[in-house]
Structure 1
Amino acid sequence: MERFVHSVTLQKQLCTGCINCIKRCPTEAIRVREGKAHILAERCIDCGECIRICPHHAKRAVSDALEVLKEFEYTVALPPPSLYGQYNHLDDQDRVLDALRRIGFDAVFEVAKAAELISDATRRILATGSIQKPVISSACPAVTRLIRVRFPELIEHVLPLVPPVELAARMARREAMQRTGLPAEKIGCIALVPCPAKVTARHTPIGSSHSEIDRSVAIKDVYPALLAAMSHVERPEHLAAAGSIGLGWAESGGEAAGLVSTENYLAADGVENIMRVLEDLEDEKYGGIDFVELRACAGGCVGGVLQVENPYIAKTKIKRMRRMAPYAQNRLEGGVPTEMLWDTDLTYAPVLELGATRSERFERYNQMQKILKGLPGLDCGSCGAPTCEAMAEDVVRGKAQITDCTVLMRHRLEAMLRAKEEQEAARAAGGREEAVVK
């Protein structure tokens, strides 16, 4: 079985056993057992929805601390475009980029720059017609993993390009090696990430045999140090290397809008919305659509749970920056380079299958349907599973018992109570009749 490395973890001491998380997980990867939530690692796509929804902060994303800068002789920061929306009064990227060097990075390489190159490559691929339309963006690792797990029929529609942060790491390392003469292993490419899915993508990259990203630091962890450093930047050095197209990737629809070669696109964000879109795509309900951009976080990357600013305010700040920025500063020369393309195929991850063989799956499916008919169909979550169907599946897999259903248990107790009352009533009636006879 494929090895999964996840960034979303559970702090059991904070978990109260409420069912908020199980109802919102898009892959039904959470169960509540013995009063505590449990994350099923093989199902988790690290979308961070459980982190967002947990009222007790029992879910968190594990990322690297800023101290990882000490592990390398030369470090390059990879700031995403959503980072700029975290701060006030920015006319361009230079103040943030300058501050990154002040807090210890030796160089910076904007992910927005790589995003503009990905946009150019996407336009060229769409023009060739080599991928079945509608073409689905591969920029959000949570969405790509969701397709692998729940929508395998859509795999052939996914754009086979590495995400911008991965391309940025590859380009940044090459430039740093040329600039410093250092070997690759002494150069650290540090991604500043807005969401747990991008932390996971470093450990288990999609479409790539390995990742050039060395460490992943959450934006919320670098935010205070960066804010303090920015207060000392009076005349920042001009370091910005991306225009409006690259900055637009921070918000939902920004990637699709940058594809000037097509107006027939669809953009959606938020787990519940993208689930509906993927279901409709699987049913071939969208005609005439060339490109589909999906982001697991509400509002796009600005809505990542590892950020600080309200996503709607962050979007407004970035829109202001985009108005002042040039349209685009980066284009490909020649064809699409191989470093932008996947080197491994996207394959179906059958973690939701009921068995290893067709006969085993068929047998278990029939068992599940029989169990499901006996369940109340309320999808209340009181048993610890998100739906009655998930409960039936757990029983078939040997992970739960039918007696875990609290509704059935209540019905049985009520039936036992009624039977006892009827027996007592019958005995009382029998006693009265005997007294009358005497």
Structure 2
Amino acid sequence: MAMKHSVVLDSRRCRGCTSCIKGCPTEAIRVRGRKATILPDRCIDCGECIRICPHKAIKSVGDSLDVLSQYEYCVALPEPALYGQFHNLDNIDIVLNALLKIGFHKVYEVAKAAEMLSDFERQCICEGPASVTPLISSSCPTVLRLIRMRFPKLMGHVAGTILPMELAAILARREAAEETGLPPERIGVFAIVPCSSKVTAARESEGLSHPVLDGAFAIRDIYLRLLSPMKHLETVEPMTSAGIIGMGWASCGGESAARLRERCVAVDGINNVIRMLEEIEDGRLPEADFLELSACTQGCVGGCFTVENPYAAKMRLKSLMKGQPVSRNRFRFEGSERDIVRRDKELQYLPTFVLDQDLGAALNKQLRIQELESHLPGLHCGSCGAPSCHAFAEDVILGRATVEDCIFKVRERMRSMAGKDEADDYLPPPFRRCQPEPSNK
């Protein structure tokens, strides 16, 4: 079954400028007929195309607040990145109280669940060393999909825990059912997320057989709704339930800091993450115990759904942490209840880059791709609508494009038909052949 991606393309805004095809880390975008298209099986919902597109033609679609009316009782799960979006905020309780004014009946902080996960991880460290090193964090859905797609050999290195927002959803629904007496299906649990990847994860979990969230709202949408009620709160009830460790998960390095004695490496930015995974796959990083990999710059505060500069948001979060306890939560589950934080399904390889299910046919296609690529200019200009000459050769062999889509192949054909060099005149100046310099004699 195809994944329900949150990243979508508005063809009415798209001008076919090819800016997006260069930025996609999995080469999931093509331009055909002056319109970009997304190859859904290659998309990892990283949001790079959303950031790059100058015409705002690519966007991620979260849920509308109208969905709250479908449930008798609604719980908000704010990610800690939300707190860093507000200027001059000195009390997180103001944000949490305001959430109750826009349609939610209860607030359960994702930072609280993050602290429980951190404590669980510390307990696992005390029980003995991990079976594989380095252990890779499972907290970024984009990284999980990237590993499943491009680095399947590293799936065994991924931590077996679920996302903090998923743990928060399980515990919040349980608490709400106990407090209200309502059946779980009449309780709506919604995450307030910083990126497109987590919207997709809310719909289709990487680690759970069945989604535990009823929807996800973009931080930028909730931010606008919160501004007015935050200014007009008559009383501010104490609601904060997390400390420094939980809030620290919002920025790169926060999860690593909670692991204390381990040797950790924190990497942010999708291209940096890819380079790190390549090094691990090549066995060039044996000394690290734990890798925290965040697809967004500076971690979740840099998600494509945020409204503030990630560096400024990180600074504000640090300011909000002052005076807070290190942690307010412990992982106190015992016996089989400890499995509440563990995945109930294994990561599965996504054969996105497999050319054919038949090994012989796949090898034949690979040889044809290499042969065609050897006759291409290797400039990766994007004029064909593919991000690179290799991607274009692959498209041709797989029937997604024709050789004539390459402007250089068109020139060769014109020269062959005309028998003269006038074909160069039909190329943009940077791609024309160099003219011999005039002699000084």
**Which amino acid counterpart does residue 370 of structure 1 have in structure 2?**
E
Structure 1 residues 45 and 331, CA, compared in 2 at 3 Å: closer, same or farther?
same
Q: Which residue of 2 aligns with 1:432?
A: none
Q: Which residue of 1 aligns with 2:176?
A: 176
Q: Which residue of 2 aligns with 1:324?
A: 323
User: Where do residues 76-115 of structure 1 align in structure 2 (5 Å cutoff)?
Assistant: 76-115=75-114
- Say whether residues 1:360 and 2:367 are aligned partners: no
Q: Please state how far the C-alpha of 1:126 moved relative to its aligned partner.
A: 3.8
Distance, in Å, in 1 between the alignment partners of 2:15 and 2:285 is 42
Contact 1:376/1:408 (8 A) holds in 2? no
Q: Please state how far the C-alpha of 1:100 moved relative to its aligned partner.
A: 0.5
Q: Please state how far the C-alpha of 1:414 moved relative to its aligned partner.
A: 4.5
Q: Which residue of 2 aligns with 1:250?
A: 250
Structure 1 residues 328 and 362, CA, compared in 2 at 3 Å: closer, same or farther?
same
Q: Which residue of 2 aligns with 1:351?
A: 352
- Secondary structure of the 2:31 match is strand
Q: Please state how far the C-alpha of 1:416 moved relative to its aligned partner.
A: 4.7
Q: Which residue of 2 aligns with 1:275?
A: 274
Q: Which moved more, 1:235-244 or 1:117-126?
A: 117-126
Contact 2:170/2:212 (8 A) holds in 1? yes
Structure 2 length normalisation: TM-score? 0.92
Distance, in Å, in 2 between the alignment partners of 1:106 and 1:377 is 58
Structure 1 length normalisation: TM-score? 0.93
Q: Please state how far the C-alpha of 1:370 moved relative to its aligned partner.
A: 0.8
Distance, in Å, in 1 between the alignment partners of 2:201 and 2:316 is 27
Q: Which residue of 2 aligns with 1:167?
A: 167
- Say whether residues 1:189 and 2:189 are aligned partners: yes
Structure 2: state its 5+ residue gaps.
Answer: 423-441
Over residues 357-399 of structure 1, what are the superposed CA-to-partner deviations in whole Å (9 max), with x where a residue is unaligned? 2212111111111111111111111111111111111111111
- Secondary structure of the 1:85 match is helix
Q: Which residue of 1 aligns with 2:70?
A: 71
Q: Which residue of 2 aligns with 1:289?
A: 288
User: Where do residues 29-428 of structure 1 align in structure 2 (5 Å cutoff)?
Assistant: 29-127=28-126, 128-262=128-262, 264-333=263-332, 337-414=338-415, 416-419=417-420
Contact 2:30/2:37 (8 A) holds in 1? yes
Q: Please state how far the C-alpha of 1:98 moved relative to its aligned partner.
A: 0.6
**Which amino acid counterpart does residue 287 of structure 1 have in structure 2?**
P
Structure 1 residues 365 and 125, CA, compared in 2 at 3 Å: closer, same or farther?
farther
Structure 1 residues 236 and 372, CA, compared in 2 at 3 Å: closer, same or farther?
same
**Which amino acid counterpart does residue 209 of structure 2 have in structure 1?**
S
Aligned length: 419
Distance, in Å, in 2 between the alignment partners of 1:19 and 1:205 is 31
**Which amino acid counterpart does residue 105 of structure 1 have in structure 2?**
F
**Which amino acid counterpart does residue 155 of structure 1 have in structure 2?**
M
Q: Please state how far the C-alpha of 1:234 moved relative to its aligned partner.
A: 4.7
Percent identical across equivalent pairs?
Answer: 49
Larger Rg: 1
Contact 2:141/2:206 (8 A) holds in 1? yes
Structure 1 residues 162 and 38, CA, compared in 2 at 3 Å: closer, same or farther?
same
Alignment RMSD (CA, Å): 1.5
Distance, in Å, in 2 between the alignment partners of 1:289 and 1:234 is 50
Q: Which residue of 2 aligns with 1:12?
A: 11
Distance, in Å, in 2 between the alignment partners of 1:123 and 1:292 is 15
Structure 1: state its 5+ residue gaps.
Answer: 422-438
**Which amino acid counterpart does residue 197 of structure 1 have in structure 2?**
S
Distance, in Å, in 2 between the alignment partners of 1:304 and 1:243 is 22
**Which amino acid counterpart does residue 387 of structure 1 have in structure 2?**
S
Contact 1:92/1:325 (8 A) holds in 2? no
**Which amino acid counterpart does residue 176 of structure 2 have in structure 1?**
A
Distance, in Å, in 1 between the alignment partners of 2:22 and 2:225 is 36
Contact 1:99/1:226 (8 A) holds in 2? yes
Contact 2:202/2:216 (8 A) holds in 1? yes
Distance, in Å, in 1 between the alignment partners of 2:72 and 2:30 is 44
**Which amino acid counterpart does residue 135 of structure 1 have in structure 2?**
L
Contact 2:133/2:286 (8 A) holds in 1? no
Q: Please state how far the C-alpha of 1:415 moved relative to its aligned partner.
A: 5.3
Runs of 4+ in 1 over 6 A off after TM superposition: none
- Secondary structure of the 2:280 match is helix
Distance, in Å, in 2 between the alignment partners of 1:333 and 1:170 is 15
